């Protein structure tokens, strides 16, 4: 049940209860819930007026599900129900059109700041072949005169850096994150000597930092990046970034490699996936790690850039094995047919 949710619930409630701001003033990237009002939210339906519904509307507006409205009411209206249904579908949740516990739990989980609905969806559902990856509108990708293989450079802002982790730890973490993507596509990533000339510029920023997407402090939005070929990757400097949970004991620690790998996916042209195991799923709980590319991530990025010629995965091997079995089955069937035909002819002449 919702009351037993770990990490994200406990710390978001603490953050909001210690604030004197009203719900109307709360950031649209964070949802405030307590043990006292959660039941009223989960029981709410169309036509109900419940104090606090407006914050859910502002949250859905922030991530692309409702048109922006500075005067969102606390009424559970038809447009709110429709937005909830879209949100539940996009996040791979059970579609109820209600503020059920799973939906509220998802909304209080820290996430990427890139909206979920600014995308071109690719959905394919066949036997043993289901994909849910999505692109940004127009399927933008890095071109560099369409040369493949391609090399992109990245650099770290010395002016916008954190100090709880060493620069070396950050560099090594991003190197691993970039290598996860380069292992599956013909694109390599090299750290630039000059940050100003790098294709991809990485920095840690606080609050309003001039790109129209201000950060909101601890948890809430963790990071955001931009579609190709803008090349900007911004992380919230207020987070407790971790590269090793054995060293970083904080209950609100966020895995840097998981977030870096996710944001690089955006830089390459992927939007959010509804597959919860995918790197491109929009949310990540504190102290969780999800940095390994899922089949959905791989197929999505390969649809934009093609496959790294040295890449072999379990699912591609299984596909080859299935094809080989099919070919073998066809050959064996033909052989049996010929043998059977010879036997029939022989029996005809004997009789």
Q: Strand, coil or helix: what is 217? A: coil
Look up residue 260 and give its two tokens: 């870096």
Distance CA 12, CA 19 (A): 11
The catalytically annotated residue of 172, 193, 263, 318 is 263
β-pairing verdict for 134-135 and 187-191: unpaired
Neighbours of 183 (CB within 10 A): 14
C-alpha–C-alpha distance, residues 287 and 261, integer Å: 16
- CA distances from residue 231 to 59, 188, 202, 203, 269 in whole angstroms, order as listed: 26, 15, 9, 12, 10
CB 80 within 8 A of CB 192: no
Residue located via tokens 């010395």: 158
Q: Is 172 a catalytic residue?
A: no
| β-sheet bridge partners, residue 241 | 254
User: Catalytic amino acids?
Assistant: 263
């Amino acid at each position: 049940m919702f009351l037993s949710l770990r990490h994200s619930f406990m710390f978001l409630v603490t953050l909001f209860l210690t604030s004197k701001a009203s719900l109307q003033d709360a950031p649209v990237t964070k949802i405030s819930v307590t043990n006292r009002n959660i039941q009223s939210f989960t029981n709410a339906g169309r036509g109900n007026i419940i104090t606090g519904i407006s914050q859910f509307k502002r949250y859905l507006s922030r991530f692309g599900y409702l048109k922006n409205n500075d005067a969102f009411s606390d009424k559970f209206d038809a447009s709110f129900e429709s937005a909830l249904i879209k949100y539940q579908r996009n996040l791979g949740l059970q579609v109820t059109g209600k503020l059920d516990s799973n939906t509220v739990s998802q909304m209080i989980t820290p996430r990427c700041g890139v909206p979920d609905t600014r995308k071109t969806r690719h959905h394919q559902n066949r036997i043993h072949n289901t994909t849910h990856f999505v692109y940004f509108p127009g399927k933008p990708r890095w071109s560099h005169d369409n040369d493949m293989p391609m090399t992109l450079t990245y650099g770290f802002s010395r002016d916008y850096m954190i100090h709880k982790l060493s620069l070396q730890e950050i560099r090594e973490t991003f190197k691993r994150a970039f290598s996860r993507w380069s292992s599956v596509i013909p694109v390599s990533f090299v750290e630039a000597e000059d940050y100003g000339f790098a294709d991809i510029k990485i920095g840690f920023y606080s609050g309003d930092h001039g790109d129209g997407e201000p950060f909101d402090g601890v948890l809430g939005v963790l990071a955001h990046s931009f579609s190709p070929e803008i090349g900007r990757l911004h992380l919230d400097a207020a987070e407790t970034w971790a590269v090793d949970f054995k060293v970083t004991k904080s209950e609100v620690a966020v895995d840097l490699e998981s977030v870096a790998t996710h944001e690089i996916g955006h830089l390459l042209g992927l939007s959010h996936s509804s597959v919860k195991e995918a790197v491109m799923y929009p949310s990540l709980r504190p102290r969780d790690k999800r940095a390994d590319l899922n089949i959905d991530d791989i197929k999505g990025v390969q649809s934009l850039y093609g496959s790294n010629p040295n890449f072999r995965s379990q699912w591609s091997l299984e596909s080859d094995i299935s094809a080989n079995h099919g070919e073998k089955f066809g050959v064996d069937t033909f052989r049996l047919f010929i043998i059977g035909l010879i036997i029939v002819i022989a029996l005809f002449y004997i009789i």
